[in-house]
Chain A
Amino acid sequence: DADVTQTPRNRITKTGKRIMLECSQTKGHDRMYWYRQDPGLGLRLIYYSFDVKDINKGEISDGYSVSRQAQAKFSLSLESAIPNQTALYFCATSDDGTGINDYTFGSGTRLTVV
């Protein structure tokens, strides 16, 4: 099993629909992240979380919300999807950065909003 699992792998949804992307991890990391990738722009940070009580906005959080249900689970929601949210979404986990700096990405969710 993958260390960081994202579901679904692919999703097509209609404008205005609510959609949730899920992420679970077996790394035992406290830190979890959601990134978005658009063609030619690399990855940009949407939200990140240090633990279940700590949620922080990244650089492009508008239109998104997150929930850290447990140490191992971090979900991303689009309350009312719009076409420019069509992108590849990655979940990631990391250690505290002082050791080996273990950063692990999921395989991504390709979301298309029509």
Chain B
Amino acid sequence: SQQGEEDPQALSIQEGENATMNCSYKTSINNLQWYRQNSGRGLVHLILIRSNEREKHSGRLRVTLDTSKKSSSLLITASRAADTASYFCATSRGGATNKLIFGTGTLLAVQP
């Protein structure tokens, strides 16, 4: 079963606007990661936030984590057409296994 769900399933915005995607998960975690996937090919790691962190930034990306609500959000500011992709959150409980459990993804379309 999937660990989490992402909301919305699809998002269409204009270039320059901000895009916000949300992720909810079910169990306690060690960390949560966001990935990007272009056209159903390889996954690119965007950012990792640990369970004791509340917010993290990387360039135009801002991730928040609320462990009490078991939710995270990914904000992409000043979006570009090249940001068009699917975005996935994935959680890890850490430990020896360190396996990731993925959400169902948000398909972002940025219109030029």
Report the count of interface residues on A (CB-CB < 8 A). 31
* Interface Cβ pair total, 8 Å cutoff: 68
A20-28, A62-70, A72-80, A90-98: which one contacts chain B? A90-98
Main secondary structure of the interface of B (DSSP, over half): loop
Q: A42 to B42, Cβ gap below 8 A?
A: no
Q: How large is the interface on B (under 10, 10 to 19, 20 to 34, 35 or more residues)?
A: 20 to 34
Report the bound CA distance from A94 to B98 in whole Å.
Answer: 8
Report the bound CA distance from A101 to B100 in whole Å.
Answer: 11
Main secondary structure of the interface of A (DSSP, over half): strand
Residue of B nearest to A45 (CB): B99
Interface residues of B (CB under 8 A from A): 1-2, 30-31, 33, 35, 40-43, 45, 48, 88, 90, 92, 94-105
Interface residues of A (CB under 8 A from B): 31, 33, 35, 37, 40-45, 48, 50, 56, 58-59, 88, 90, 92, 94-98, 101, 103-108, 110
